[in-house]
A = this chain, B = another copy of it.
Amino acid sequence: MKRTLLALALTLVGAFAAVAQQSNPLPSWSDGPSKRAIISFVEAVTKPGSTDFVPPAERIATFDNDGCLWVEQPIYTQAFFIVDRMKALAPSRPEWKSNTLFSAVIEKGLAGLSGVSEHDLAELVAATHGGMTPADFRALVSDWLATARHPRFNRPFTELVYQPMLEILDYLRANGFKTYIVSGGGVEFVRAYAERVYGIPPEQVIGSRAKVAFETKDGRATLTRQGSIEFIDDKAGKAIAIEHIIGRRPLAAFGNSDGDLEMLQWTTQAGGRRLGMIVHHTDDVREYAYDRESSVGRLARALDQAPKEGWTIVDMKSEWNVVFK
């Protein structure tokens, strides 16, 4: 009886999945090469009996976040957060006045960030992101996201997510994929909104990490974010983190910059049917147009290697019927 019920249930779930799959799954995509590449890939790896068939448990897809799932211009969203945190904390940190970098950011805002080195950025993150529990940090980010607005679009950052990419996330999940974010941004920063906005739970968010200390205070265990960065999840770090944390080679990877090059290589060079996809920002009317010369989200080496590697380049301007959610 149990087995019969289960078999019936699974058959119906399968039937539902098949129906869902057949209806137009990617309405915001024009009928161009990228949409065809995605659908062809998904059909190949999910069709039972196909030589490319992959069991559901092994269907892993990884997505860069900044510039791949949401807007990253004129600068990463987390940089806006840093500026606002610096300003909010400045009155209680008089010692920051004697720090050239910090006072530039406090006085000039984003302009104070232009041309800062990676080392400077790490210092800013350390000064503003530490000294609290991961849960408190996530709550802080969540509160900030509720009111902060993008300077050009005057909308909350969480509305500046790409509708066509949300549809890919949904389409892959409807076909048994587990979708991961693999971001250069802070893991707790992304977790603050990933579940609500992308449907991606905390355990499927991989990102850069602050050092965290465990302490027992009055017999209570606490974790406290420290003022230093332990791991930068970018470039080779993305492939390494995927192996450490997921322990499977992805079937599909989505990126938009040279920071995603190693993740794309690691994914598509694994043998078997794979999908590598690069969102090319070509639409300065609806969003932004940038690649080789951009200081944020530079795309040069990955663009050069794409043809040889068989990666699909998404032309945002012609292939996305809508950009934002």
Residues of A within 8 A of B (CB): 1-2, 5-6, 8-10, 12-13, 15-16, 19-20, 57, 60, 134, 178, 187-188, 191, 201-203, 205, 209, 212, 214, 216, 220-221, 223, 236, 239-240, 243-248, 262, 265-266, 269
Please, which residues of chain B bring their CB within 8 A of the CB of A8? 12
CA–CA, A239 to B134, complex, Å?
Answer: 12
Please, which residues of chain B bring their CB within 8 A of the CB of A246? 202-203
Is B12 within 8 A of A244, CB to CB? no
Please, which residues of chain B bring their CB within 8 A of the CB of A205? 247
Question: A19-B2, A266-B223 given as contacts; is B202 within 8 A of A214 (CB)?
Answer: no
CA–CA, A223 to B244, complex, Å?
Answer: 11
Q: Which of B13, B244, B265 contacts A209 (CB 8 A)?
A: B244
Q: A134 to nearest B CB, angstroms? A: 6
CA–CA, A211 to B6, complex, Å?
Answer: 44
Name the prevailing secondary structure of the A interface residues: helix
Additional A-B contact list (11), CB under 8 Å, known A209-B244, A212-B244: A6-B12, A57-B201, A187-B244, A202-B246, A203-B247, A214-B236, A214-B240, A214-B266, A220-B265, A223-B243, A245-B245
Q: A309 to nearest B CB, angstroms? A: 9
Q: Which of B6, B16, B243 contacts A2 (CB 8 A)?
A: B16
Residue contacts A-B, CB under 8 angstroms, 14 given: A5-B15, A5-B16, A8-B12, A9-B12, A9-B15, A13-B13, A203-B247, A209-B244, A214-B236, A214-B262, A220-B269, A221-B262, A221-B265, A223-B243
